[in-house]
Amino acid sequence: MGFKSNMIEGIFRFLALTMSVAALTAAPAFVSAQEFGEQIPNLKLPTITNFAPPQGEAPLAQGSGGEITLAAQLTEGGAEITRGLVWRVFKPEPGPEGKLPLVASSQGGTGVFHLDPGSYLVHAAFGRAGATKRITVGREAKRESFVLDAGGLELDAVLAGGVRIPPDKLRFSIYAAEAEADGDRALILPDVSPNTVIRLNSGIYHVVSTYGTVNAVIRSDIRVEAGKLTEATVEHRAAELTLKLVREPGGEAIADTSWSVLTNSGDPVRESVGAFASMVLAEGDYTIVAKNRDRIYQREFTVVGGRNQEVEVVATEAAAARATEDVE
């Protein structure tokens, strides 16, 4: 059996709170409206990144001008967001350094600002979701509402049969769905832990799930709907292996061993040194090569998804060959 690309391809599954798991390719995502109570990460502004720090000694949002109340909803007509928002108010004209001067900011829910009459740009950030709007402040108090058109995304992964994957060995990266001119996708958020709610503007995102650090990788596109939490679960077809070189089956591991793992076609996958070599590999056929002193020992092995195990390479004369300069 050849090592095929679909050995690292998985099936995204979407979970509903009251429904069983279904494959992503066979059914749309199940979603449910929830309040996103997670704290927002320290991230760059999605749409305004070029601004100057505030000037002057007066506290932010405490000017002597008109009162402006800013509120935000996930969807048109939805409830106001009560926490997790970051408001930033800018002057609309760039300063001497070409940056938008930051006039005021606040965190929490609905924000109340006292600003001098004039025009401003306001950015509302809710995690990775955000919206920018131009407002005009006068002497009279007024209120402005922002519709973020945002939802949440929560990611997780399992092995075949629903076996849980240790969270410390699982990470997700979220990319823009559309590729750029060079074929790459813009990275939106790297190194996302499982079961973390990420706030995003509605739309389609390209998600990469990585189990371990070798070749167990799954990619798929996920749609985030405004006002809803999309829960997506990946099924990885991979297993965790611990390799050891022994003089007899069940024996002690031999120290100072160099390990190489190759695909069925001879392409290198992983190299390490030590009595034990632990790694996560995608389902498929591999050649395991153990080098100790001037001897090389080799074993063919098939990785079955979800079957974690210890793999022994027995150091027998029949399995050994003298190391040569062209064998690493």
pLDDT tens per residue across span 274-293: 999 999 999 999 999 999 98
Residues contacting 5, CB < 8 A, separation 6+: none
What pTM was computed for the model? 0.75
> What amino acid occupies position 311?
V
By 3-state DSSP, what share of the chain in percent is helix, strand and coil, each rounded to 5?
5, 55, 40
Whether residue 55 is predicted with pLDDT greater than 70 in this model: the reply is: no
User: And the tokens for 237?
Assistant: 């077809």
Mean pLDDT of 213-219: 96
Antiparallel, parallel or unpaired: β 229-236 and 31-32: antiparallel
In the block, tokens 């601004």 appear at: 51
Closest CA to 281 of 259, 303, 301: 303
What is the per-residue pLDDT across 153-210, written as a single tens digit (0 to 9) for each? 999 999 988 899 999 999 999 999 998 889 899 999 999 999 999 999 999 999 999 9
What does the pLDDT look like over 107-149, one tens digit per residue?
Answer: 999 999 999 999 999 999 999 999 999 999 998 999 999 999 9
Per the CB < 8 A criterion, the answer to whether 195 and 157 are in contact is no
At 66, the pLDDT band (50, 70, 90 cuts) reads confident
Enter the tokens of residue 173: 């990266």
> What pLDDT is attached to residue 282?
97
- Report the share of the chain in percent with pLDDT over 70: 77
Q: Could you tell me the pLDDT band of residue 9, with boundaries at 50, 70 and 90?
A: very low
pLDDT band of 322, cuts 50, 70, 90:
very low
Flag whether pLDDT at 75 surpasses 50: yes
Statement: residue 22 has pLDDT above 60: no
The answer on pLDDT for 49 being more than 80 is no
